[in-house]
Amino acid sequence: MRKPDKPLAAKQGAEVIIHRAARIEDAVHEFRQKRAQARGRVPTVIPYTGYGSTSWIRVLARVLLTTPSRPGSREARRARKPHESVRGWRSFTSVPFGKAAVTVHAGGHSHVVAADRGGVVDAVIEVSLEPGWQTVGFTIEGGDTVEAPIFVLEPKTSFGVVSDIDDTVMVTALPRPLLAAWNTFVLDEHARVPTPGMAVLLERLTTENAGSPVIYLSTGAWNVAPTLTRFLSRNLYPAGPLLLTDWGPTHDRWFRSGREHKRENLRRLAREFPDVRWLLIGDDGQHDEEIYADFAIDFPQSVAAVAIRQLSNSEAVLAGGRSKDEVHTERTGANWVYAPDGAGLATQLADAGVL
């Protein structure tokens, strides 16, 4: 396993040209930050599950400005639980604290990392940790110390799972244009329905491949991470890192590309763990097949198989249609299996020798 590469711009020392939309967003964030701090709001780190090897870890978190909770209150008790600290629509209305300095405590050492423009911490730290689930701490000046789990892969790990979320492990039953609004204003894990058999499939995969990671890769915003974590836990899905994205403009474009977010994270996993072969799980609503096919062609050694959940006719309509790609094993060199639920996928994966 190799340490992840640094961003190209950082390597070359190149000056990053900031898109006008990003500059406008930065000005809005700065105004909101000053106003929130004047009203007594304090920096709060919302930690997310990370992953890594025995020599490095990828830590994920977000820094928000929130109203201090009263000692002993319900909010104070939630603040000690990473997935409970900022709930519901508050995760969208809370003010991001960009460029904040965050201290990460791991393996008996401390490392200072910086949040990005939107308050998101996504950093790689060199540290020696034992394989399995470990814990790291996050501290920010003016805020409490919080902890997050980190899944450390054994050097000999050769199998892992990457799974989409919406319409793959959960059924949203909403038109895609309304999905963002639903996530923003409802954001309740009780209102979501698990896909039949998918939790059993993922649990069986991790049981039969001890020490294998499960990574949930989605185009959803980091704001929904606490809700997704609660949903996965409540419905007995294996614990694993969430790789989400941040809404709004980037330094070079008006809107972030969800497809590029998935492609880049898949490529990153292939570079970070060249000896791991991934089972890629998604659905046939629009883009997963295309993304997985491109990855299987570019990194054939990193793909164990591709499992695609087939949407029902009504789900396909809400999702905006089915993928028009005709993907075949012969084209990509990987095994492709299709079924409407986890049980069907498990049967076909067993027949293919993957499960």
Q: What is the pLDDT of residue 323?
A: 55
- Domains in the chain, number: 2
Beta-bridge mates of residue 217: 243
Q: What is the pLDDT of residue 236?
A: 95
Is 301 a domain residue? yes
171 CB contacts (<8 Å, ≥6 apart)?
A: 192, 193, 194, 195, 315
Q: Are residues 276 and 318 in the same domain?
A: yes
How many whole angstroms separate alpha carbon 288 and alpha carbon 223?
A: 22
Name the amino acid, one letter, at 116: D
Q: Are residues 191 and 305 in the same domain?
A: yes
How many whole angstroms separate alpha carbon 101 and alpha carbon 121?
A: 9
Is 8 a domain residue? no
Q: Are residues 135 and 171 in the same domain?
A: no
Decide: 265 and 241 in contact? Cβ < 8 Å: no
Name the amino acid, one letter, at 19: H
Q: Which long-range contacts (CB under 8 A, 24 or more apart) does 102-110 make?
A: 102/45, 102/61, 102/63, 102/138, 102/139, 102/140, 103/138, 103/139, 103/140, 104/59, 104/136, 104/137, 104/138, 105/136, 105/137, 105/138, 105/139, 105/145, 106/57, 106/59, 106/134, 106/136, 106/137, 106/150
Burial class from Cβ neighbours inside 10 Å (0-12, 13-18, 19+) for residue 259 reads middle
Q: What is the pLDDT of residue 68?
A: 73
Q: Are residues 177 and 141 in the same domain?
A: no
Q: What is the pLDDT of residue 17?
A: 53
pLDDT tens, the chain, 355 aa long? 666 655 444 444 444 455 565 566 566 666 676 676 667 678 889 999 999 999 999 999 999 888 776 656 555 555 555 445 454 445 555 788 888 999 999 999 999 999 988 889 999 999 999 999 999 999 998 777 899 999 999 999 999 999 999 889 988 755 555 655 555 455 555 567 899 999 999 999 999 999 999 999 998 888 888 888 988 999 999 999 999 987 654 444 444 567 899 999 999 999 999 999 999 999 987 689 999 999 999 999 999 999 999 987 766 555 554 555 555 556 788 899 999 999 999 999 999 999 8
Q: Are residues 163 and 126 in the same domain?
A: no
**Domain finish residue from 111, 132, 152:** 152
CATH number at residue 129: 2.60.40.10
Burial class from Cβ neighbours inside 10 Å (0-12, 13-18, 19+) for residue 341 reads middle
Q: Are residues 176 and 53 in the same domain?
A: no
CATH number at residue 341: 3.40.50.1000
How many whole angstroms separate alpha carbon 77 and alpha carbon 55?
A: 34
Decide: 211 and 158 in contact? Cβ < 8 Å: no
Residue 194: closest CA among 227, 168, 175: 168
Is 21 a domain residue? no
Q: What is the pLDDT of residue 221?
A: 83
Q: Are residues 128 and 176 in the same domain?
A: no
Decide: 72 and 65 in contact? Cβ < 8 Å: no
What is the separation of C-alpha 203 from the centre of its chain, rounded to a whole number of angstroms? 19
Is 13 a domain residue? no
Is 310 a domain residue? yes
Q: What region, left, alpha or beta, does residue 88 occupy, with left being phi > 0 and alpha being psi -120 to 50 degrees? A: left
**Domain finish residue from 126, 152, 178:** 152
How many whole angstroms separate alpha carbon 253 and alpha carbon 234?
A: 37
What is the extent of the structural domain holding 249?
159-351
Q: What is the pLDDT of residue 268?
A: 97
- Name the 3-class secondary structure at 323: coil
Q: What is the pLDDT of residue 7?
A: 45
Q: Are residues 143 and 202 in the same domain?
A: no
336 CB contacts (<8 Å, ≥6 apart)?
A: 305, 306, 307, 308, 327, 328, 329
Q: Are residues 121 and 167 in the same domain?
A: no
Is 27 a domain residue? no
Q: What is the pLDDT of residue 18?
A: 55
Q: Are residues 340 and 225 in the same domain?
A: yes
Is 35 a domain residue? no
**Domain finish residue from 94, 127, 152:** 152
Is 14 a domain residue? no
Q: Are residues 172 and 143 in the same domain?
A: no
Q: Are residues 191 and 293 in the same domain?
A: yes
